[in-house]
Amino acid sequence: MAQHAVELILTRQLASCLSVPIVLFGPTGDVLFYNEPAEALLGMRFQETGPLTLVESDRRVRLTDERGAEIPRAARPSAIALGQQRPAHSQMWMTAADGTRRAVEVTAFPLLAEAGGLLGAAVMFWERDGR
Amino acid sequence: MKVTFYGTRGSLATPGRATERYGGNTSCVLVRGEDGSALVLDAGTGIRAAGADLPRDLRRVDILLTHLHMDHIQGLGFFGPLYNPRVEVHLWGPASATAALDARLSRYLSPPLFPVLLRDLPCRLHLHHVPCGEIKIGPFTIVAQSVCHPGPTVGYRLADGRAVLTYIPDHEPALGARHFPEDPEWTSGWELARDADLLVHDAQYTREEYPSHLGWGHSSLHDALAFGALARVRRLVFFHHDPARDDHAVSAAAEAAVVDARPAFSAMPAAEGESFDLPAGP
């Protein structure tokens, strides 16, 4: 077991203190952590799932457009933040692990270390019809 | 390796009779290798005496800075070997996102704060940025890793093949953690401290003081003990004593925390002038 970079640790700690749903991705797209507000949106609990591989998270949570077509991985804000190392935002539909479908806003930004290097991405979700 | 404390105080030097047991100088620890290698951890006001104690024929010394807060660099300009043209001084420390180490240090080592410019020092000076992967110096393998403290800050893990010393003088791993300590992989500094023979760790506050200093970058004695337990260290030395605490108060705070936490390892306050030989004898 290796320790995460302090920047990721601090991002997780910040996310744990906020009411905004936040998912923390590693540099290869694996889900490292999601906070309690995100648990409600994603329909699963971090305590039960733990970290998720890219494939596993795709299997549990589907991201689609308004017509129900799958949003290609490369077009998702998380993938843009990781692949192009720039912030990205979009609107989409999310089918959570518990089957609930919601319209969401998604904003992602890359986590770049002080000394350089991509550590991951933080992704904020916002339910459009929610709060 | 031999580890000697030359400065144990946090934030501000506090000389005087009330602090003569644990010391009033700010952060500085001298580590000597079996081959005579000399590593100086931080350049607080204690570094002046550390420099004076080094052998005159020493030709290389490495200064490992954890960060550039004043209490960790204030003594730098008074380190004797910097003024000796026959000595090679290697200065290791963190850059920031916008400034290199020399630019950051020069803010202090230049007028009006200091009369001598960094570039005018007579020694053969080499600057290195950390973290930078493994560093090999004499018998030591050194790893620097960023840790939780305001501004670019690292901790160091020094291994000489026989023992491991971990030095994290300014560290607030409990910041924002719901239940500290949580998983090791989500705990700042854990990898540096893992199974260390000696952990020198920030313990500036009592448990009662900590809530009103949240985010200042320092730990309570209880959190230092919990961190040491998580990392399964063999010995913990409380470091970065609060400048408001006299000798009696440092002893009392440490004793109360140890009695309360009952660690499985020994824990004591760092005292200026005190040395540890690692590995410890039987």
User: Which of A9, A11, A35 is best to mutate for the B interface (most B CBs within 10 A)?
Assistant: A9
Q: How do beta strands B60-64 and B88-94 pair?
A: parallel
Please answer yes or no on whether A13 and B176 come within 8 Å at the CB atom.
yes
pLDDT confidence bin for A131, thresholds 50/70/90: very low
The hierarchical CATH code for the domain B2-277 is 3.60.15.10
Please state at what angle helix B247-261 crosses helix B221-230, rounded to 10 degrees. 50
Is position A91 within any domain?
yes
Q: Hey, which bits of chain B come out as E strands?
A: 2-7, 28-32, 38-41, 60-64, 88-94, 124-130, 135-137, 140-146, 154-159, 164-168, 198-202, 235-239, 266-269, 275-277
Taking only the tens place, the pLDDT of each residue in B132-182 is: 889 999 999 999 999 999 989 999 999 999 999 999 999 999 998 878 988
Is position A57 within any domain?
yes
- Token readout for B142 is 């050194």
Is position A2 within any domain?
no
pLDDT confidence bin for B282, thresholds 50/70/90: low
- Token readout for B92 is 């290791």
Separation CA B55–CA B53 (nearest Å):
7
Please answer yes or no on whether B176 and A17 come within 8 Å at the CB atom.
yes
Distance from CA of A1 to the nearest CA of B (A): 7
Minimum Cα–Cα distance from B100: chain A residue: A115
Comparing CA positions, the residue from B237, B239, B171, B229 lying closest to residue B199 is B237
ipTM score:
0.78
Please answer yes or no on whether B152 and A14 come within 8 Å at the CB atom.
no
Q: Considering only the beta carbons, identify the residue of A3, A113, A114 that sits closest to B187.
A: A3
Task: Give domain limits for chain B.
Answer: 2-277
Give the torsion through C-alpha atoms of B161, B162, B167, B171, to 10 deg: 90
Q: How do beta strands B198-202 and B235-239 pair?
A: parallel
CB < 8 Å to B189, chain A: 3
Is position A104 within any domain?
yes
3-state SS track over B191-229: HHHCCCCEEEEECCECCCCHHHHCCCCCCEHHHHHHHHH
Distance from CA of A11 to the nearest CA of B (A): 10
Please answer yes or no on whether A6 and B152 come within 8 Å at the CB atom.
no
Structural domain that includes position A109: 53-115+125-131
Q: Are B31 and B6 in contact (CB under 8 A)?
A: no
Is position A68 within any domain?
yes
CB < 8 Å to A1, chain B: 184-185
Please answer yes or no on whether B176 and A7 come within 8 Å at the CB atom.
no
- Token readout for B94 is 């963190």
Overall average pLDDT of the A67-92 stretch: 96
Instruction: Specify the number of domains making up chain A.
Output: 1
Question: From the CA atom positions of chain B, what is the Rg in Å?
Answer: 18
